[in-house]
Amino acid sequence: MTARIIDGKALSAAIKADVAQRVVQLKKQGITPGLAVVLVGEDPASHVYVRNKAAACEKAGLYSRVVRLAADVPEEQLLNTVRELNADSTIHGILVQLPLPSHMNAARVIETIAAEKDVDGFHISNAGLLMTGQPLFRPCTPYGIMKMLESENAVLRGAEAVVVGASNIVGKPMAMLLLAAGATVTLCNSKTRDLGAQTRRADVLVVATGKPEMITGEMIKPGAIVIDVGINRKADGKLTGDVQFESASQVAGAITPVPGGVGPMTIAMLLVNTLEAAERCAE
Ligand code: GUN
């Protein structure tokens, strides 16, 4: 069997085009959705991500502002920057790019973002709303994955969903969204015994571990939908996911590629969350 490729680039382009249309409507009411991205330090990957986020905003007609702070900035100065953005009515979404330098308390920084501007969905109040089935913002990567599953017409009610990786950013909110959609969810972590026994039960398998190619074809149920969140650089410079694409695509029914799978969806959903934050201001 050769798996269908789930084209995240095409799906994200369609979502961004829809956002652009809704932005036009909102502008007629005098509101331009605005996203502020705060970037602390010099992490090269973070710089690329932030540049891509700002470019995607501008392309869809949103206003974007990038606030760059030095790696050694005192935490209090970062908190004050966030407080100013909370009070700024031209800004509807605030995102502090992670990881932060080690002298900072990321949880405290995230909790300082106004929950109604927390377009990442990382604030504890947004995590709690998601967990209790009344989400305000869904974290962008899991939200994008739900859109991919929707585009595949995946039946989630009663399905076995296995999520590998239990981070606050991807694994845990992913589990909550799949659960809300009626799946039976198993959330695996680095201590899980016999990971293959878990993953082989999955009708829907989501992998977000940051470990290159750790999931191989023999760990996948024939016909499963496989979503690979990983993006890792190999010794030869090429990008690869957390799933070994060659072997997995022989067994899976559908699979996301790396690059061109989940990555583009994350940015598209950030635009959706920012737009919806601005739309709520118009209500
Ligand atoms: N770093 C890696 N992914 C993300 C994300 O989705 N949001 C933020 N703020 N930082 C990240």
CATH code for the domain defined by 139-263:
3.40.50.720
The question of whether 7 is a catalytic residue gets the answer no
- Domain positions in the chain are 29-115, 139-263
Helix (H, G, I), strand (E, B) or coil at 67: strand
- Does 165 show up as a binding residue in the annotation? yes
Full-prediction pTM beyond 0.90? yes
CA within 13 Å, CB half, 104: 26
Please, where are the H alpha helices in 65-194? 75-86, 106-112, 124-131, 140-151, 171-180
The question of whether 194 is a catalytic residue gets the answer no
Confidence of residue 258 (pLDDT cuts 50, 70, 90): very high
| Residue indicated by tokens 């800004």 | 91
- Residues with beta carbon inside 6 Å of ligand 1? 95-98, 120, 140-141, 169, 266
CA distances from 106 to 1, 60, 111, 114 (A): 44, 29, 9, 15
What's the pLDDT tens digit per position in 7-59? 999 999 999 999 999 999 999 999 999 999 999 999 999 999 999 999 999 99
For residues 43 and 70, give the distance between their C-alpha atoms in angstroms, rounded to a whole number. Answer: 11
For residues 282 and 180, give the distance between their C-alpha atoms in angstroms, rounded to a whole number. Answer: 28
The CATH label, of 3.50.50.60, 3.20.20.70, 3.30.70.930, 3.40.50.10860, for the domain at 29-115 is 3.40.50.10860
- Does 223 show up as a binding residue in the annotation? no
